[in-house]
Amino acid sequence: MSRVAILGAGMAGLGAAYRARELGIAAVVYEKLDRPGGHTRSFAVDSGFVFDDGPHISFTRNERIQKLFAEAVNGEYEVLQASVNNHWRGHWIKHPAQCNLHGLPADLVAAVLRDFVHAQGRETEGIRDYETWLRAAYGDTFAETFPMEYGAKYHTLPAAGMGTDWLGPRLYRPELEEVLDGALSPATPDVHYVSHFRYPTRGGFESYLRPFVDQAKLELGREVVAIDPQAKRIVFAGGDEVGYERLVSSIPLPELIPRIAGTPDDVAAAAARLACTTCVLVNLGVDRADLSEHHWTYFYDRDFTVTRASFPHMFSPHNAPEGMGSIQAEVYFSARYRPLDQRPEELIEPVIGDFRRSGILRETDRVVFREARVVPFANVIFDHDRAPALDVVHGYLDDVGINYAGRYGLWGYQWTDESFVSGEEAIG
Ligand SMILES: Cc1cc2nc3c(=O)[nH]c(=O)nc-3n(C[C@H](O)[C@H](O)[C@H](O)COP(=O)(O)OP(=O)(O)OC[C@H]3O[C@@H](n4cnc5c(N)ncnc54)[C@H](O)[C@@H]3O)c2cc1C
């Protein structure tokens, strides 16, 4: 019997364990993998490169979490000023594109400006679908050329199929003057919502978790296969069982709900309607370090396989052997909207081709390491089913006394710090 059973040893589960320890509550974390960390795991490969499970940087404004993470790595972290750009049809555009149209074809710039001016004063408050919101916020030409194209790659569905409850600061709303300045001048202020970020000097992003892992009572290789909320018992793969007084789960909801004994059909159906992207990461090691001046790049082009590329060797010099560089490409799929129906390895060559075509890789560059890695649950898809389905699922979990936390328990857009805090809050 553990007083509190915590399911999953990612940021949320370890945040819950941290809080329980602070309060003197006995808690055990059960993790199905043989390694803790969840999405914040880092992988050091033989050739000396370090890749995270998707590009991870810490840009939290929560000062308590900043301090906790800094202490976790004994103050050994890099502080970097974020530099971000975009690729569109052979053009490199500073981010965000709406404020940096300088250098794009004159007819496109003219059409964007005309539509942007027409869109001035349009009300976006209360708009419930993403496409309508984009057209109202930026005008038709910009909406269709940039965010609708990128969104279809990143979210795997057309903008009309998505809601607007995830936007937050993600899409910058410039004043007309900023758009005009950016169309006329190559030098514009930085307005990305991530201005600076931190990254552990050694060991990849995962290093932030070390003390929380060390302090937690953790059982690895413990896949939860069934939960009986009446009897307050958990069953693991292999048949072992434990009881609990309180349960906090960070397991993705579509996997949690089918494991709960006696779940009503409508709740099971609602959980099945929650959609999420799957990300294939193509990790490359290259025999040259000056691959890019930017930490990450968004690729708008439909004929490019890569959606976003980041350069882990720029996050910390210890992420690659001296003189070498690394690229992490993200390619997105989803069971509902764009199923992954090929072997992940088949994406490696097309992605390398993208980098050669765009000029990031030169003909003379040697790719000394390559791999494809699948992240089954990546980004929650904010389609129109999400909110009503989530109400049903969370309502049921509340009824049966199962607390939920983390990105895939809350089923939102939580960053690492928010996932950690949600775990703490689930303990109380
Ligand atoms: C591509 C990508 C890039 C991102 N970039 C950033 C970034 O730059 N900065 C940032 O702050 N955040 C970033 N995030 C978000 C961040 O990864 C999450 O907020 C955070 O890692 C989620 O932690 P979690 O504990 O909620 O979930 P997870 O990390 O998924 O942890 C859940 C754990 O539950 C375990 N589990 C699942 N099923 C079972 C079972 N049946 N039994 C037992 N255990 C189980 C899993 O193995 C896993 O360890 C990114 C996410 C993605 C996908």
Tell which residue, 324, 285, 282, has the closest CA to residue 304.
Answer: 282
Region for residue 293 given its phi and psi (left: phi exceeds 0; alpha: psi -120 to 50; beta: otherwise)? alpha
pLDDT tens-place string over residues 209-259: 999 999 999 999 999 999 999 999 999 999 999 999 999 999 999 999 999
Contacts of 149 (CB under 8 A, 6+ apart): 300, 301, 302
Q: Give the whole-angstrom CA distance, residue 210 versus residue 379.
A: 25
Residue 32 tokens read as 């199905």
How far the first Cα of the chain sits from its last, in Å, is: 20
pLDDT tens-place string over residues 96-135: 999 999 999 999 999 999 999 999 988 888 999 999 999 9
Site to substitute for ligand 1 among 39, 227, 236, 259, most atoms within 8 A of C-beta: 39
What are the sequence ranges of the domains in the chain? 2-34+220-274+384-427, 41-95+192-203+277-376, 99-184
In short, whether 32's Cβ falls inside 6 Å of ligand 1 is: yes
Please identify, by atom number, the ligand 1 atom nearest to the C-alpha of residue 377. Answer: 53
Q: Which stretches in the chain have pLDDT values below 70?
A: 1-2
In short, whether 250's Cβ falls inside 6 Å of ligand 1 is: yes
In short, whether 378's Cβ falls inside 6 Å of ligand 1 is: yes
pTM of the full structure: 0.96
Tell which residue, 234, 224, 232, has the closest CA to residue 400.
Answer: 232
Which pLDDT score, from 0 to 100, does residue 365 have? 98
DSSP 336-385: TTB---S-GGGGHHHHHHHHHHHTSS-TT--EEEEEEEEESS-SB--BTT
pLDDT tens-place string over residues 68-79: 999 999 999 999
Write the burial class of residue 380 (CB in 10 Å: 0-12 exposed, 13-18 middle, 19+ buried).
buried
Composition of the chain by helix, strand, coil, percent to 5: 35, 25, 40
Which pLDDT score, from 0 to 100, does residue 136 have? 95
Arch. (CATH architecture) of 41-95+192-203+277-376: Alpha-Beta Complex (3.90)
Q: Give the whole-angstrom CA distance, residue 4 versus residue 250.
A: 13
Q: What is the 6 CA–ligand 1 centroid distance (Å)?
A: 14
Q: What is the 66 CA–ligand 1 centroid distance (Å)?
A: 19
In short, whether 351's Cβ falls inside 6 Å of ligand 1 is: no
Please identify, by atom number, the ligand 1 atom nearest to the C-alpha of residue 408. Answer: 26
Please identify, by atom number, the ligand 1 atom nearest to the C-alpha of residue 417. Answer: 11
Q: What is the 186 CA–ligand 1 centroid distance (Å)?
A: 38
> For a pLDDT cut of 70, what percent of the chain falls above it?
100
Residue 271 tokens read as 């959980």
Q: Give the whole-angstrom CA distance, residue 424 versus residue 428.
A: 7
In short, whether 109's Cβ falls inside 6 Å of ligand 1 is: no
Which residue CA neighbors atom 17 of ligand 1 most closely?
39
Which pLDDT score, from 0 to 100, does residue 1 have? 47
**CATH match for 2-34+220-274+384-427 among 1.20.120.790, 2.40.160.20, 3.50.50.60, 1.10.150.530:** 3.50.50.60
Please identify, by atom number, the ligand 1 atom nearest to the C-alpha of residue 330. Answer: 1
Which pLDDT score, from 0 to 100, does residue 2 have? 58
Q: What is the 398 CA–ligand 1 centroid distance (Å)?
A: 22
Which pLDDT score, from 0 to 100, does residue 189 have? 81
Any idea how long the chain is? 428
Which residues is 353 bridged to in the sheet?
none
